[in-house]
Amino acid sequence: MHSKSNKAPSLGVLILAAGQGTRMVSSLPKVLHPIGGRPMLAYLLRLANALKPAGLGVVVGHQEELLRKEVSQNARFWGLGRPVTFIRQKDLAGSGAAVIEALPFLKKFQTALVLCGDTPLLTFDTLYALVNAHRADKGQVTLLSARVPSPKGYGRVVRSPLGEVLRIVEEAHLAAKEASINEVNSGAYCFEVPLLVAALKELTPQGPKKERYLTDCLEHIRRKGGRVAAHLAPNHEEITGINNRVQLAQAERVLNRRALERLMFSGVGVSDPAHTYVDADVEVGPDTVLLPGVVLRGKTKIGPRCRIGPYSLIEDSSIGAECTVAFSQVAGARILEKCSIGPFTHIRPESVIGPRAKVGNFSEVKASRVGMGSKVPHLSYIGDSDIAEDVNVGAGTITCNYDGERKHRTHIGAKSFIGSNATLVPTARVAPLKIGRGALVAAGSVITEHVPDGARAFGRARQENKARK
């Protein structure tokens, strides 16, 4: 029979996310500000989930309901495999007060990992190493620290001559001899819960705002004979906290660099990383080339051997293998293999572009299907339409999908030819408007009735030539 001490301690993770973030100058809670296509909080939740804790809690306060809603709606997309316990912080009086409110949750576990919700640059490897170092050393508290080139604004880690962590000193309270310390506190801690509970009872309000600081727990634990250790992060950029929009933009650059490096190591060509932007969840296949000015956002997936850009925006869309997209915008659409999109094309949501199709210069497609091998090469608007395979749509064609009250669809049969400047007008009486298989619509026609298979449709006045006066 194994003794209790031989058992791996159960781990609970607590993320502090109750702050308003006034320096963001925004109505949105700080931890919900997007970075790399996800809210800040999403990064911490994914990291915590990857550690496989026995419990995952989030302390909420400002706009609690919005935070709860965001997490519940996106849990699957963020890859959360376990439920999240929300703890409401009624007294917004510092990090210590937040953890005090979370004690009923934390008391279920032997070890608590406490994280700040505004540190999205932390990596799994670093947090995993922190937890393992804490367990290996059998310490009472282990904080994550880093050595930074410029420690301004951070709490400093004060050590003894033998390297033992003595305390954390906030910048406002630094002694002259402590000002040069460049080892700083990240705000991430591993605590043994029984000692944390005892230390929290001794916290007293500090400063003009009468706040309780979690850092003071370290000194209380040490006074009671507990050992405080610090685990150094391998890269100081990981511990960056975000308090304003300048820091948000700086962190965005870091995440973009990581995303591009991930893609390049997987076989994706990026010709100009400084002018290419990719969200954290974007997937790109090998031998695809991203040219300057490309922006890939959201849940976008791009297949292999594509050429994307220059200067294209693709959002929440899938692009099949061997496609080209140039100087175009694609949002909420599916583009199948070997398609040519652009230049200056707008593919709008709910559109599907079939294999080997082309949508070209200054054309717009909205909530429509373009069949295999069909062409909408230039200056056309295709809305609420179904175009079968091998259709040619002439320049300036418009499907008039909206009559001022309702939207109506247009169906164009396979191998049809739509002449330039044709206007296809489905009405409440004739909807969907059907252009038959192999039909021809003459250039400049206004079509308001069905066109049978193989027919030729003319919907324009006869030309008249009159002598000049």
Nearest residue to 239 via CA among 150, 120, 151, 129:
120
- Beta pairing, strands 423-424 & 398-399: parallel
- The phi, psi pair for 21, rounded to 5°, reads 70, 55
**What is the distance between the alpha carbons of residues 398 and 383, in angstroms, rounded to a whole number?**
8
**What is the distance between the alpha carbons of residues 415 and 179, in angstroms, rounded to a whole number?**
77
Residue by residue, DSSP assigns 310-369 as SS-EEES-EE-TT-EE-S-EEES-EE-TT-EE-SS-EE-TT-EE-TT-EEEET-EEES-E
Amino acid at 380: S
User: Burial level of 75, CB count in 10 A (0-12/13-18/19+)?
Assistant: middle
Cα 292–Cα 41–Cα 299 angle in degrees, nearest 5: 40
Nearest residue to 86 via CA among 100, 73, 63, 102:
102
Residue pair 214/139 in contact (Cβ under 8 Å)? The answer is no
378 a catalytic residue: yes
**Which position among 231, 378, 408, 411 bears the catalytic label?**
378
List, in sequence order, every beta strand (DSSP E) within 121-164. Answer: 141-147, 156-159
Sheet holding 398-399, edge to edge: 277-278, 295-297, 313-315, 329-331, 346-347, 364-366, 381-383, 398-399, 423-424, 446-447
Query: In b/e form, how buried is each residue of 448-460, taking b as 16+ CB within 10 angstroms?
Result: eebbeeeeebebe
**What is the distance between the alpha carbons of residues 396 and 93, in angstroms, rounded to a whole number?**
63
The residue to which tokens 């709008």 are assigned = 348
Task: Report the Cα–Cα distance between both ends of the chain, in Å, rounded.
Answer: 114
- Residue 72 neighbours by CB distance under 10 Å: 12
- Residue 64 neighbours by CB distance under 10 Å: 16
Sheet holding 318-319, edge to edge: 283-284, 301-302, 318-319, 334-335, 352-353, 369-370, 385-387, 410-412, 433-435
Per-residue DSSP letter, 62: T
**What is the distance between the alpha carbons of residues 277 and 300, in angstroms, rounded to a whole number?**
12
Residue pair 183/146 in contact (Cβ under 8 Å)? The answer is yes
Q: Which residues are catalytic?
A: 378
